[in-house]
Structure 1
Amino acid sequence: MINFVIITNNKLFIYCITLNKKKMETIINAQVPEFKVQAFQKGEFKTVSNEDIKGKWAIFFFYPADFTFVCPTELVDLAGKYEELKKMGVEVFSVSCDTHFVHKAWYDTSDSIKKINYTMLADPLAVLAKGFGVYKADEGVAYRGTFLVDPEGKIKIAEIQDNSIGRNADELVRKVSAAQFVESHPGEVCPAKWKQGEETLKPSIDLVGKL
């Protein structure tokens, strides 16, 4: 939030970029916030905390609200990749500022949401949304934020977008695969559009200027 006025547009623009860069630098490789929340999964309520993801890869998939429009299309898209992600050793958590009771009501009334087998976290006090920096206070909802957490509890991927723009689960799976690869292959990096089985890069002085 900017609490002052700068007359020169160029200065204002440069300062905004600095703020955004600082925010992203603090979130990548930061530890996942401590939390303990209620959740809904396949007809049952349960409690989930940061202790449950220790030693595991985990996706936190924030969305604005249940009973909306873009959200169910995203959640069902992600549900279609859930088994693949589980085979990759990844826990999947969708998160909104609804209660676990609202999650159940949505599940009970929507044929689309009944396809979801992953855990739906309830964040009515916005503990997670604020902790991950995606809380939209004027509306009391979360932005569409996607976060990948590694087994050490460090945030490796952080993406936040406007609530009018839906996400792509195929691309998320690709990025998870890349994150897992570089974690297990120190010294290698994944180029644009990299997929499992394709060549990676090994940064070195011999490679400078040759790409």
Structure 2
Amino acid sequence: MSEETKARDGIARWAKSMFDRGLTNGSSGNISVRLSDGRLLVTPTGSSMGFIDPGRISLIDTSGQLVSGDAPTKEIPLHSAFYETRHGAGAVVHLHSCHSVVLSVLPETDPDNVIPPITAYSVMKLGRVKLLPYFMPGDPAMGDAVRGLLGKRSAVLLANHGPVVCGKDLDAAVYAMEELEEAAKLTLLCRGLSPTLLTQAQVSDLAERFDVSW
């Protein structure tokens, strides 16, 4: 099986899995994978992640032109910004998952550190998550905002919109996205309960061991 075929099948499989588990709905959410030659495979615009046809996934060349497949998601600038600034990024996942969106609109959410260190796994898989301002969906300014982070964050939360994460490959990006949504749920459940968080020393040890920004 070729690299491209494997990536197409992986995108369709993971997209359906996340759709079936209620992590995205309707035609929301998008996924991209960067191939070893720099081309991108991207879920098409207006498509439901529960019914992605691998053969119709958009193939984008290194100059940003559509080579084959349906028209790509309008969030291409957002995806491209991660690939341009995060060394080793091989996949990007963007969802409108419920708990993460709720966290993005609450005034008490820390914009520089959306997810408090409740568990080791959120630190290990996400590092410090940045809340970015609201942008109209598809606005290229979202990409500019990600570039402004200078590659220091692998996960961001778009206000009134949803989370975006990148990973070294598709599996890693999906696992990180799942962790972000679960951590957002835990954060909301702990609100007002004075939870015992990981100490700064514990967080620093994790950040060093797993090479994440904190």
Please indicate the TM-score interval, normalised by the length of the shorter structure.
Answer: under 0.3
Instruction: Choose 1 or 2 for highest CA Rg.
Output: 1
Q: Which has the higher contact order (CA 8 A, sep 6+)?
A: 1
- Looking at secondary structure, tell me which structure has more strand per residue: 1
TM-score between both structures, scaled by the size of structure 2: 0.25
- Looking at secondary structure, tell me which structure has more helix per residue: 2
TM-score between both structures, scaled by the size of structure 1: 0.25
